[in-house]
A and B are shown apart, each in its own frame.
Chain A
Amino acid sequence: MSVISSLVPARFLTLIAHLVIVITIFWSRENNVRASLPLQFTEEEYNEVDTRLVIALSVTLGLFFIELAGFFSGVSMFNSSQGLLSTGCHASASVSLLFFLFEQWTCDIYWWIFAFCSTGRPLQRIYLPVLLCVPEVGVLDLLVHFCLLQCDSSPCGAHPLHRCLWVKEEAPLTFRDLKTNRQLCHEVTTTTQ
């Protein structure tokens, strides 16, 4: 049964990857909130945008539980088109959220990613005839992915706020930091010699 042997682990791993990235964003959402605000902001504005992002992430986590329940109960194991759509949605969501996290996109973009990748999934579990719009959702997914990959490194241009907010102690996973760290180490060794 090649369908079960290859689709089920793929679906599981993309689901877990999406979950891990959502939890990581939950943890380090400060940079994204600051990217959505102007240079001078008040405490209330920060809290408002922060609360909105927390709500978006909480709804995502809630939908995740529905998805995991459907996955572990095995209801949709033999429905390969649904499994394929699930894998595709979660993979594209993971890639988009990686960009969201590393490039410090604004919080509004999260709602777009959420709308395209998270809302269709649990609805399918509950109401199977929604499967009829599978090709439609797939096309939308591709469009979003293509559109998102075409974005510049930062939609606001090289915002000075982004650069000065890149905290080294967080140990972020980008090559930008690798290069700057190596430069720093090089400078330190040359000054100490």
Chain B
Amino acid sequence: MAASGKHPILSSTPLQVLLYLNSWYFAAFFIAECLMFVYKGVVLPYPSPNLILDIVLLLLFLGLEILRLFYGWKGNLCERALAMSVSVGVLVPCTVLCVYYLLLQTFVLRMEFILNAILLCFYGFELILGLMSISTFSRASVYR
């Protein structure tokens, strides 16, 4: 595309790298969280409703994260502002869930704290780069 000289590539490479690594990191995070919930459920005195709430929220987290990563990936590669803004929009409930698992859970393990903190770092960088790429894509489409 850049060879033709007319269409410069607008997709953000750092954002793509972050999304790629984030998908791998979240897969490992999800497996680790499942195992930690098994451990917590066996060892710690959990009231049943709290455990069910945490597990349901984890599944919701998985769904939202897959949605966000997919829209971010495709939106960045196809240079579409709408898909990128959906991704940034879904980032908000994902951040809320991340903070929940970081601070507001019934029992927070140290490992969970660290893993969620790293995930929050990912979200911070992806938010900044996502907003920058949305502005790049929408500015370019005005002149097309």
Contacts and interface: CB of A to CB of B under 8 A. Distances in A.
Interface of A: 9, 12-13, 16, 19-20, 23-24, 27-28, 72, 74, 170-171, 173, 177-178, 181
A173 B28 contact: no
B111 A20 contact: yes
B114 A173 contact: no
A24 B42 contact: no
Given A171-B107, A177-B43, 4 more contacts: A9-B20, A12-B21, A170-B110, A173-B109
A178 B42 contact: yes
Nearest to A72: B17
B46 to A, nearest CB: 12
Given A171-B44, A178-B42, A27 B110 contact: yes
Interface in B37-82: 39-40, 42-44
B24 A173 contact: no
Interface in B85-144: 107, 109-111, 114-115, 118
B110 A28 contact: yes
Provide the main secondary structure of the chain A interface.
helix
Interface residues on B, range: 10 to 19
B25 interface: yes
B103 to A, nearest CB: 16
15 contacts: A9-B24, A12-B24, A16-B118, A20-B115, A24-B110, A24-B114, A28-B110, A170-B110, A171-B43, A171-B44, A173-B39, A173-B109, A178-B39, A178-B42, A178-B43
A182 to B, nearest CB: 8
Contacts of B118: 16, 19-20
A177 B39 CA distance: 11
Contacts of A28: 110
Contacts of B44: 171
A20 B101 CA distance: 17
B17 A173 contact: no
Contacts of B25: 12-13, 16
A32 to B, nearest CB: 15
A193 to B, nearest CB: 18
A12 B28 CA distance: 11
Contacts of A181: 43
